[in-house]
Amino acid sequence: MHFSNSMLLMTALTAGSAVARLHGHERRHAHPRDVNIEANPAVSVAPVADVEKRGKEVFATIDGKLVSWINNWFGEQTSESSSEAAEAAESTVAPTSTATPTAEATSEAEAISTISPTPVPSSSSSSGSSNWASYPSNGQYSTSGFGSSTGSKRIGALDWDYIGNVGNPWGSNMIRVEEDVASQYKHVIRFENDNSKAWTVVMWNSYGPSGGLNGFWAPNKALSFTVEPGHSIFVAIDDDSQGGWGASEGEGLPTNFVGQYASTWGEFDMSNSQNDNFSGWDVSCIIAELSNLEIAGMQICNHEGGKCSSITNGATSVVNAYTAADQGKPDKAVSQGPGPVRLVVNLGWSS
């Protein structure tokens, strides 16, 4: 990927980019490639966007196609975006009934900042077996606690020019749920921490509150929570949602010098309406690797222990997952046909 005007577009497509490999759709990540980003951990000041570059047209060759866009990134959310993000639902939900359902790149990084998560309910489940992965016998899934679903739309011809459900308010398409009601929802992710220290998880939609492909830039977050050692947290996700999460040991996530979350990522696409309701997921360390930051381990499998995507600490072992060398490859993510999804995420994974 080559960028003119000395611009570095650090974007990343969610698991939807590679969801339906078996369904015949060849789709790719939109991560940057062929760039070397040097981090400077000693600097803690947040980066400032080059205002002289705003409003200018930027050109890029992505997977052999020349594309262009107007750079309107200001280095921070607009007040409108911040207001929408602040309204996102972040509470644990126990339903009572079921229903049918770029900143200019310089030769060196300017800063690495830490984003502290918003406090969330402290309740979490101890790791162990339960019926959370079962399904309603009547095939009807709860939508209790979600915001309004937003309509999907195409905004261009490229693979990532698709905006699915981002929730209204933004981010309300994913909610924390208690273990004993998790099985009532269609798409459920169980985050497990078998390590000795707490881990922070920040979740996002691919498209941010302002409608741009920047949901994975700080301070955007649909959910944020801490998983204590030996505990699990459950998250339900609404239909046609594309997004991901970053995870890091400690109290916050690292960001690179353009403000992008730069930890190891998990990515998901749930019942994609433009792809016959297929779903998919993968682990990616592309941004962390390009930013010369720590690559933490992560594994995502279905609840039966199959269809796994994983990266170990330092990317010493990679299975069905994305590293910087895998940009543009169409065969890394895991796909699943239409129906409910039950995933288990092992934070700090080590094989």
Of 55-64, 223-232, 323-332, 340-349, minimum mean pLDDT range: 55-64
CA 334 to chain centre: 15
The arithmetic mean of pLDDT across residues 158-181, rounded, is 94
Higher pLDDT, 159 or 108: 159
Helix (H) or strand (E) holding 85, with range, is helix 79-86
pLDDT at 113: 36
Percent of the chain with pLDDT over 70: 63
pLDDT(118) > 90 = no
Highest mean pLDDT among 66-80, 259-273, 322-336: 259-273
Give the pLDDT confidence of 131-157 residue by residue, as tens digits. Answer: 999 999 898 999 999 999 998 999 888
User: Between 260 and 117, where is the model more confident?
Assistant: 260
- Whole-number average pLDDT of the chain: 74
pLDDT, position 197? 96
CA angle 257, 297, 256 (to 5 degrees): 0
pLDDT value, residue 124: 52
Contact 285, 295 (CB under 8 A): yes
Q: Is the pLDDT of residue 63 over 90?
A: no
Residue 158 is predicted with a pLDDT of 79
pLDDT band at 186 (very low <50, low <70, confident <90, very high): very high
Q: Which of 114-118, 123-127, 251-255 is the least confident region?
A: 114-118
Pairing of strands 57-62, 2-3: antiparallel
CA nearest to 286, candidates 332, 221, 242: 332
Q: What integer is the mean pLDDT of 206-234? A: 96
- Residues 275-290 have a mean pLDDT of 95
Give pLDDT, residue 329.
75
Alpha-carbon distance of 160 to 248, in angstroms, equals: 26
- Could you report the per-residue pLDDT of 229-265, keeping only the tens digit for each? 999 999 999 999 999 999 999 989 999 999 999 999 9
